[in-house]
Structure 1
């Protein structure tokens, strides 16, 4: 992902997360910290950005910052492909574990994360702006080897 991608990324961000979307400034800040601790990617279909994802990695830990796919392109494997790339980057950076938070009211995302070997480790009550809880999940990479789902 580059700054030039931000208009398309922000359209997806606002439509996917209408109640708690990141601001363009927040997203720009994530990009400006690259490549030392951040890894942000976009997914293209016929040259159009249809998804994006980001990883923060420092030391032996990484966090999935965000994953979003435009409404018309969901359930096509794009989110899974991007998550696979984030996990591969975590392996390249030598991280031992990848963490994330997922909305408690988003079973499809939870199922995708489970397919990739993430397991729930706790709940953050009222984590999202609308009061929805977040389920915290982790995937250990230091016990598995390849980091692929």
Structure 2
């Protein structure tokens, strides 16, 4: 018997406790977002979330023809099973449905697995934010879109 991957569904404010727990499991303490931050992100103009049960989620926003991934979290116990790619693909599709021609995101220069995920999705580096993360590492600004 195989374990079917959890279906993706729109995330709402009722899902914030699950999303906060996932974020806490997926990120180092200094980078974790609690319920207040996640609620604020979901409420941004053009904000949307997609949730895969208690396995992972993505928060993004699409405004004025562009989109950005605000955060993407996959529980460590369910990594390396394609869920990050599914969440990213679904966020890109939803952003396009909302009129975005390009999607941007930041990723730590030290996060090899996430960088590989984004590279497989066609992301290209378009900038760098020096000492962006709490540990002092730079963030690479990536773009996914037809102008890559």
Q: Same fold (TM over 0.5)?
A: yes
- How far did 1:31 drift? 2.5
**Count of equivalent residues:** 137
Which residue number corresponds to residue 147 of structure 1?
Answer: none
In 2: Cα distance, 1:123 partner to 1:14 partner = 25
Asked if 1:28 is matched to 2:39, the reply is yes
In 1: Cα distance, 2:99 partner to 2:19 partner = 28
Asked if 1:82 is matched to 2:92, the reply is no
In 1: Cα distance, 2:70 partner to 2:40 partner = 13
- How far did 1:134 drift? 0.5
Which residue number corresponds to residue 49 of structure 2?
Answer: 40
- How far did 1:121 drift? 1.2
In structure 2, runs of 5+ residues without a counterpart are 1-10
TM-score, reference length from structure 1: 0.85
- How far did 1:15 drift? 2.1
CA contact (8 A) 2:104 2:144 kept: yes
CA contact (8 A) 2:41 2:70 kept: no
**RMSD value, Cα:** 1.5
- How far did 1:23 drift? 2.6
Segments of 4+ in structure 1 off by > 3 A?
none
- How far did 1:26 drift? 1.2
- How far did 1:3 drift? 2.2
Which residue number corresponds to residue 13 of structure 1?
Answer: 23
